[in-house]
Amino acid sequence: MSPGSPSSLHPELLAWYRENGRDLPWRRTRDPYAVLVSEVMLQQTQVDRVIPKYEEFLERFPDVGSLARAAAGDVIRAWSPLGYNMRAVRLHRAVQAIVERYGGRFPTDLAEIKSLPGVGDYTAAAVACFALGSQVPTVDTNVRRVLGRVLEGHDDVTPKAARMLAERALPKHRAYEWNQALMDLGATVCVARAPRCHACPFETHCLAAPAFSSGMPRAAESKAAYRTKAFRGSRRYFRGRVVDRLRTLDAGVTLTIPELASTLGAEVEPPGLPWLRDLLAELDRDGLVRVVAADDDAEARVSLP
């Protein structure tokens, strides 16, 4: 097979997907709101962690209207323990925009979906394909990796090049199954660090398979280890710590900045309070906390929005 003829891949992958596709709750619905919730939750979070939270979240906020009406603080509380809390804020803003712009009816045009606050190219395409039946490629990290390896022989495919590969490889009228199949293959077989080429339907076609068989090194391992080590104690780490602490408060309850600092550890004890005030101002601008100023900075009050 040459990189110019991806259509020869269709039968193998679609047959593999019929036998091996994952049974995921968001694949049992064509509700664009539910699909949007799942796609936002799945950003940077493993499937097994998302499943129970997805079901719990939809039970509490079953439709666009219920989520749009909710207080931002309640949405942030309901998001725990997924992390990356800005996702909850962006999702909340997106559904509020659906109510304001479209009267609560989910838009069906890809450009309109993409125009929603916090909705990027991939998420818009995923909702359009998986909920609305649009025949468009959905290029996430897994899809980019699979197509890069199979059709180009390596992982280092640029987002633009991956999009072009995905558009060329998309089978007519089978976008839903094809996109889901590529994601499943990347998540379970053609994984980042130790691909299981012997279990892959593309083994005899993949341009990268010979290199993996000969023990090609995986740079992703060292990068992942570095990111994990660098995260603890970082600004992002304390953003999460602050939001987690405020989540434990009942609605309407606030803390002073010194009270908050005392629960976060020695790193933000005086003289670290100016640093914490700066961090809280950033979180306030992002919509993750509310800071109510006072004449005396020490008496300023902090809560979820």
Which residues are the active-site residues? 39
Residue-wise over 93-107: b if at least 16 C-beta within 10 A, else e?
bbbbbbeeeeeeebb
Phi-psi category of residue 38: left, alpha or beta, with phi > 0 → left and psi -120 to 50 → alpha: alpha
The helix/strand/coil state of 14 is: helix
Handedness of CA 150, 151, 157, 161 (dihedral sign): negative
Q: Which distant-in-sequence residues (6+ apart) come within 8 Å of 10 by Cβ?
A: 171, 174, 178
The β-bridge partners of 256 are 301
Q: Which residues contact 158 (CB under 8 A, 6 or more apart)?
A: none
Do 279 and 294 contact (CB within 8 A), yes or no?
Answer: no
CA angle 90, 94, 96 (to 5 degrees): 115
218-236 burial, b for 16+ CB within 10 Å, e for fewer? beeeeeeeeeeeeeeeeee
CA distance linking residue 247 with residue 83, whole number of Å: 12
Q: What is the DSSP letter of 8?
A: G
- The whole-angstrom separation of Cα 127 and Cα 145 is 21
Give me the residues paired with residue 291 across strands: 302
For residue 208, what are the CA distances in angstroms to 9, 77, 293? 15, 44, 58
Which pair of tokens denotes residue 217?
Answer: 């090194």
- Whether the CB-CB separation of 120 and 161 falls below 8 Å is answered with no
Phi and psi at residue 69, to the nearest 5°: -75, -20
